[in-house]
Amino acid sequence: MEPLKSGGSVRHSRARSGDAVHASVLVVLLIGVWCAQALEVSVGKVHFVEVMNGSTVLLPCTYSSCIGIKNLYFSWRYNDNGTMRMMCNGTIPAEGVDPRSNVYNPRVEFVGSSKTSNISILLWNVTFEDEGEYTCFARNPKEKNRNHSAVFTLFVVDEIKEVDNTLTVIILSVVGGIIGLIIVAMILKALIRFIIGKVQNKNKECLVSSSGIDNTENGLTGSKADNKASPKA
């Protein structure tokens, strides 16, 4: 009897250690899921912007990391018909430490700040050739150099778009004017109906009152109407 008992207790303790292993695996998995995007790069909710040529545009990008950063490498590249042209790159040694940045285009200015996890750039005096996709890239050595990136699209337009805008304004105001006219016409129609109805009511009242005073006159008018109707037929 005793060996059986001991065997049972051994099995029990084994099961317990198995539970502990399962629990720790679960915790690791949970942390893994929570930190799956240990580093995240974002260009914001709107992934594109439309600007006029000659203006200056902000290409926004931010990063966030739940395990912290160390020597974070970042870059901005422009997809020039397939070849990625470097616009700006740099490193952020640690959180809150000012980034070291290099720009590769005289019209590019780095305006990011490690205090706000911001790695945005400004593109000055935009030309039509600047239109296209800009990739914001970041790599955090703290997480096995995994690559993260987000794409921001720039559309460049000229004044012709403004004319389009005034055209839509004109169309909208014309449509609004027509709708307004229809409403005015309907109100006028209702008003005229109301007035006609009032006048007719007054006439009826006169008829009723006259008929109330004199029955014979009413009969007379009725016969008159009959007389008028018979020649027509």
Q: Which residues bind ligand NAG (CB under 6 A)?
A: 53-54, 58, 60, 62, 81, 106-107, 111, 116, 118, 120, 124-125, 145-147, 158
Least gap, CB of 29 to ligand NAG (angstroms): 21
Classify residue 113 as exposed, middle or buried by CB count within 10 Å of its CB (0-12, 13-18, 19+).
Answer: middle
Q: Measured from the CB atom, is 164 or 217 closer to ligand NAG?
A: 164
Question: How many angstroms separate the Cα of 102 from the Cα of each of 66, 86, 105?
Answer: 26, 10, 9
Least gap, CB of 125 to ligand NAG (angstroms): 4
Which residues in 46-71 are b (16+ Cβ under 10 Å) and which e? eeebebeeeeebebbbbbebeeebbe
Q: Measured from the CB atom, is 54 or 176 closer to ligand NAG?
A: 54
Q: Measured from the CB atom, is 46 or 213 closer to ligand NAG?
A: 46
Region label for 121, one of left (φ > 0), alpha (ψ between -120 and 50) or beta (otherwise): beta
Q: Measured from the CB atom, is 141 or 197 closer to ligand NAG?
A: 141
Least gap, CB of 70 to ligand NAG (angstroms): 16
Least gap, CB of 44 to ligand NAG (angstroms): 6
- 43 CA to centre of own chain: 14
Least gap, CB of 59 to ligand NAG (angstroms): 10
Classify residue 34 as exposed, middle or buried by CB count within 10 Å of its CB (0-12, 13-18, 19+).
Answer: exposed
Least gap, CB of 11 to ligand NAG (angstroms): 44
Q: Measured from the CB atom, is 7 or 32 closer to ligand NAG?
A: 32
CB 110 within 8 A of CB 99: yes
- In three-state secondary structure terms, 111 is coil
Q: Measured from the CB atom, is 65 or 120 closer to ligand NAG?
A: 120
Query: Residues 6 or more apart from 139 whose CB is under 8 A from it?
Result: 39, 72, 73, 74, 145, 146, 147, 148
